Structure 1
Amino acid sequence: MTPDWAMPGVQEFVPGKLDPSVLAVSDAGDPRTPHFDSFLASHQHQQPNPYLEHNINGGFLQTSSAFQQPVQYHQYAPIGPHNPNMMPYQRSVHDLFLTNELREDIQRRMAATLQTLPNSQLPQHIESYHSLVPLDTTHHKSSSTFGGYHSWVYKVQSSTNGHFFVLRRIEGFRLTNEQAIRSVQPWKHIVNAGVVRIVDVFTNRSFGDSSLFIVTEYHALSKTLAEHHHIGHGRHVRARNSIDQVSETVLWSYVTQLASALKTVHNSGLAARVLDTSKVLVTGKNRVRLNGCAALDVIQYEAATSLAHLQRQDLVNFGLTILSVGANMADASQNFARAMDQFKRFYKPEIQTAVVWLYSAQQHTDRTIDQFINLISSQIIASFDAALHADDSLHGDFAREVENARLVRLLTKLNFINERPEFEHDRQWAENGERFFLKLFRDYVFHQVDAQGHPVVDLAHVLSCLNKLDAGTDERLTLVSRDEQNCFVVTFRELKKAIESAFQDLSSNSRRL
């Protein structure tokens, strides 16, 4: 019986192209006419739009001359049904690996990070950055956030260190004061889990105009709050039973994270200035970060606005952001009363009071982020406790993978040692040599057969033997050669010493070469 963890021999799928003649569906509805397959069809006459949502952030990119096959996530140890009849000391195969959801999330992020855009019309490189891939998900660009300038976002790779970053382009900005660029320097020293770190700022004409470029950290598969919660997508009022209703616990989590970010920013003598649902990033489960900061510091460098006023405006924008998420209204700032009416239907008075306190910060010049943090201290403790539980859960997931490194090292050493053709005439490796039983141990672990001569494929046996070998236990085992003419009775401790000795011999020989 084939175990559920064994990979079946499935032929690799190679996407191809269909003849356009077979895609034509007759008016008569001939049942023999093949169905149109959008996955295989080649769009030879349609220029792809790199800004469409299905072309970015983890999806596969498709052009008229190139095709990239998406990662086959389902081929990586799928989780089977839970067996309730197992004893507490028993484990299934899947208990030894990461959860399916966590593994797939990590793989999707890695795939999105390495994603490229074939036959791109974008510049080949900008300063020391290359391989531009658009991250925007909409054609409609608002110019209200960055002082009337349109902005575009790209994933890029650094030619200096090979790391990936996000390149934000402020289109059409002309630098008139060199001191404006230097005003971003303090932002590079901001270190907070709720702020997307600023890496570099410069101007460049690679797009044919004078543009401002801001380089920040890259968080794969991240979305804005507006995208994540579908804020203002064709409706202004959220139904009570809607599946995308933001729970109060999640909303408090957003409040505490953004409050921590603003505290770090304000205590550093800065102001975020850009804080709304279209700029706050969701980079993980209930994880949000301030994004787009420092841009207005350069664009509006010569504007005479006091820092205290800008920081109070941050509090107002903070309150409007939470209100927009809770009421599902993108225009909460234009109709605060209506948004609050919707907000009060779903949330308790405590969070309502917090939103009103933030929104009225400009009318009370003594209000600061530190005072707000004191008001929500109980919720901060609750969010911190939830973060600790999440940390414990992740540690538990990764603890399953800790033993894999030890077992991989053992398997690597065994494969280095066994079946070395250059040692065929060496007495130590001959059938009567002291290292011959290492080959028999490999057969004992991986090449066992049952009474009918059928191969035994038992992962539990493999893991048990390798763990005992790594620990070097005194348990004895009998190793019999394939011709049944040789028999060894050894302990796992002796096997471990022999493997280490043989591997050291191989290492010393390779160094001499």
Structure 2
Amino acid sequence: MSDTLREDLQRRSEALYSTTPIPNINLMAFRSLPEEVHKYHSLVPLEGTDKERRTSFMGCTSLVYRAVNKETGDIVTLRRIEGFRLTNETAFAPVDKWNSLRHPNIAHLREAFTTRAFGDYSLVFVYDYYPSAQTLYSTHLAPPDPSVLAALHSAHAHSQSSPQSSRQRHYRKNNNGRGAGSSSSLNLPGNGLGVGEPAGPIEEKTLWSYVVQIVSAMKEAHDKGLALRVLDATKVLVVGKNRIRINCCGVFDVLGYEHRLSVEAQKYEDVQALARLIVALCTRGQLNIATQAQQTKDAITRTYSPDVWELIFFLAQPQQRPLTVDKILERLGNRVLMEMNAAQGYSDQLEGELMGELENGRLVRLMSKLGFINERPDFSHEPRWSETGDRYIIGLFRDYVFHQVDETGNPVVNLTHVITCLNKLDAGIDEKIMLVSRDEQTCFVVSYKELKLCIDSAFGELARRR
């Protein structure tokens, strides 16, 4: 498995089970969280608890927690709307529609419920949990944290004065091509910028990937009679390399149920929101197309191809008839094919990685069988069971694989030899090897096929006596 993929998966695994509060958490508020809410327990905040850091929905602030479903063991995300008292149970009707919608670019809404477990009237939405996910805002638009900048500047100054650190930076650059130890690539939380780096524009390839994924999600929702209503940089999650999921779907449908717009009006607002989101990503949120159209056009055409501005203008201009998602897809054309090709290429890459892990699994199972058999002290009232019959040959094979020595008596530590032998054994090929006892008085010439039969027979004997 590649180092990049391994690190990413390990980071996600750590995020799944970490109980350490994130920065900007009010520890008193964290400790006062209820032990259980509805059927969920082990709540851990995922966002800062300071009021200015909370996400707002129609004037209502929200907090996000990771939690565990006590019935299934699933790890989920709880989005709690504070101080909201639901007066009409029919407002939950959209939740069922969103629950039935499954799309690779939409965070799945599982359920919603009201609770007083937090000491107030709260409305809670339950979504699938995506470990290590960041919003588009924190990934591309958020300014660097000054405290983090200061710490990294200090670390960088120290590394510049250390020859050993310089050598380490050079070594890492040769390994991953990014110069991971250099100041220009020290990663900051959120925006991925280096120390002192100005915020650079999002790459056009990445931008088009985001647009295609959002339009795909929009089409799925619109075809089901729903609207996303959350196309904002703070509501779209980056869950992998250029992979996004639209978060918080269904929240506005419930909160604004009493004063809801027509579905057509909501769909139109999705299109306008997409145009605003593209402009925000291209200009780092510094320009507004509604009031600064010419400045926006100039800024975008300086950095991106004409296709980007043409799409924005197409989305934002007034239409005699409401613009449909199908029309947008026609406009995207080749970009959709490019995204599909990239997705299939990445799928091939992951399948290749998975094949390697599949081989590892086979070898682990084989070594586990050998571990069960070799040097077992007693079985079925036979103290020397593992040293007689076929098991004796299995023990000699263990020595052949792991206990070889060179002409000076030093152990041969050759992983290639080990893996090659185990692969041949797992395949059960006809190739023969000579196994010699430790006193060199006895030898056997056996094939890997015969050895495999011996191991399966011995392991089967153990398994039958459970």
SS in 2 for 1:227: helix
Contact persistence 2:133–2:240 (CA under 8 A): yes
Cα distance in 1 between the residues matched to 2:119 and 2:369: 57
CA contact (8 A) 2:84 2:123 kept: yes
The answer to whether structure 1 residue 147 and structure 2 residue 103 are counterparts is: no
Query: Is 1:437 the counterpart of 2:393 in the alignment?
Result: yes
Tell me the distance in 2 between the aligned counterparts of 1:480 and 1:226: 66
- How far the C-alpha of 1:454 sits from its partner, in A, is 0.8
| Residue identity matched to 1:196 | A
Contact 1:142/1:150 (<8 A) preserved: no
So what's the TM-score if we normalise by structure 2?
0.82
Q: Aligned pair in 2 of structure 1 residues 167, 330: CA closer, same or farther (>3 Å)?
A: farther
Find out whether 1:115 has 2:71 as its counterpart: no
**8 Å CA contact 1:231, 1:324 repeated in 2:** no
* Conserved? CA contact 1:440–1:479, under 8 Å: yes
1:491 aligns with 2:402: no
Q: How many percent of aligned residue pairs carry the same amino acid?
A: 43
SS state of the match for residue 332, structure 1?
A: coil
Q: Which residue of 1 aligns with 2:104?
A: 193
Aligned to 2:185: none
* Matches of 1:274 and 1:195, distance apart in 2: 11
Alpha-carbon offset, residue 224 of structure 1: 0.5
Please give the secondary structure, in 1, of the residue aligned with 2:43.
strand
| Paired residues for 1:278-317 under 5 Å | 278-317=234-273
In structure 2, the residue matched to 1:421 is: 377
Q: CA deviation at 1:243?
A: 6.8
Tell me the residue number matched to 2:411: 455
Aligned residue for 1:113, secondary structure, equals: helix
Give the deviation of 1:176 after TM superposition: 1.4
**Separation in 1 of the partners of 2:15 and 2:387?**
51
What is the identity, as a one-letter code, of the residue corresponding to 1:343? I
Q: Does 1:99 align with 2:56?
A: no
Q: What letter corresponds to residue 312 of structure 1 in structure 2? A: Y
Report SS of the residue matched to 1:106: helix
Structure 1 residues 346 and 274 mapped into 2: Cα distance closer, same or farther (>3 Å)? Answer: same
In 1, the alpha carbon distance for the partners of 2:268 and 2:97 equals: 20
CA distance in 1, matches of 2:380, 2:438: 17
1:353 aligns with 2:256: no
Cα RMSD (Å) = 2.4
State the Cα distance separating 1:160 from its structure 2 match.
Answer: 1.0
The aligned residue for residue 166 of structure 1 is: 77
Report if the CA contact (8 A) 1:143-1:149 is conserved: no
Runs of 5+ consecutive residues of structure 2 not aligned to the other structure: 22-29, 146-192
Query: Partner amino acid for 2:128?
Result: E
Amino acid at match of 2:252: L
Does structure 1 residue 326 correspond to structure 2 residue 229? no
Return the structure number with greater helix share. 2
Shift of 1:426: 4.3
Structure 1 430/340 Cα, relative in aligned 2: closer, same or farther at 3 Å? closer
Structure 2 Cα separation of the partners of residues 205 and 180 of structure 1:
18
- Change in CA separation of 1:436 and 1:261 when aligned onto 2, cut-off 3 Å: same
Distance of aligned partners of 1:335 and 1:221 in 2 relative to their CA distance in 1, 3 Å threshold = farther
Give how far 1:385 is off: 0.9
Deviation at 1:439, TM superposition (A): 0.7
Q: Structure 2: how far apart are the matches of 1:308 and 1:254? A: 24
C-alpha contact 2:376 2:386 (8 A) present in aligned 1: no
Separation of aligned partners in 2, 1:430 and 1:222: 51
CA–CA separation in structure 1 for the residues paired with 2:64 and 2:42: 13
Residue 35 of structure 1 aligns with which residue?
none
1:441–1:427 CA distance, 2 compared to 1 (3 A) = same
Q: Using the TM superposition, give the Cα deviation of residue 245 of structure 1 relative to its aligned residue in structure 2, in angstroms.
A: 2.6
User: Within 2, Cα distance between the matches of 1:350 and 1:371?
Assistant: 15
Q: 1:204 aligns with which of 93, 109, 115?
A: 115
SS at match of 1:184: helix
Q: Deviations over 1:424-467 (max 9, x none)?
A: 98498475634311111101110111111111100011011111
* Counterpart secondary structure, 2:259: coil
Partner of 1:275: 231
**Farther off after superposition, 197-206 or 343-352:** 343-352
Q: How much does 1:123 deviate?
A: 1.4
* Paired position in structure 2 for 1:13: none
2 CA distance for matches of 1:292 and 1:252?
22
Deviation at 1:470, TM superposition (A): 1.2
Aligned residues of 2:55 and 2:62 also touching (Cα < 8 A): no
Which of 115, 121, 127 is equivalent to 1:216? 127
Give secondary structure in 1 for the equivalent of 2:19. Answer: coil
**Is structure 2 residue 290 aligned with structure 1 residue 387?**
no
Residues 423 and 429 in structure 1, CA contact (< 8 A), matched pair in contact too: yes
Partner of 2:140: 229
Question: 333-342 vs 434-443, which deviates more?
Answer: 333-342
How far does residue 232 in structure 1 lie from its aligned partner after superposition?
Answer: 5.9
Do the aligned residues in 1 keep the contact of 2:54 with 2:63 (CA within 8 Å)? no
What amino acid maps onto 1:193 in structure 2?
Answer: P
Distance 2:79 2:356 in 1: 39
Secondary structure, counterpart of 2:32 in structure 1? coil
CA distance in 2, matches of 1:331, 1:224: 20
What is the distance in 2 between the residues matched to 1:456 and 1:110? Answer: 35
Find the aligned partners of 2:67 and 2:287 in 1 and give their Cα distance: 33
- Partner Cα separation in structure 1 for residue 435 and residue 260 of structure 2: 84
TM-score, L = length of structure 1: 0.75
| Count of residues in Structure 1 that have an aligned counterpart in Structure 2 | 408
The question of whether the paired residues in 1 share the 8 Å contact of 2:48 and 2:54 is answered with: no
- Contact conserved, 1:428 with 1:436, CA < 8 A, in 2? no
Secondary structure of the residue aligned to 2:232 is coil
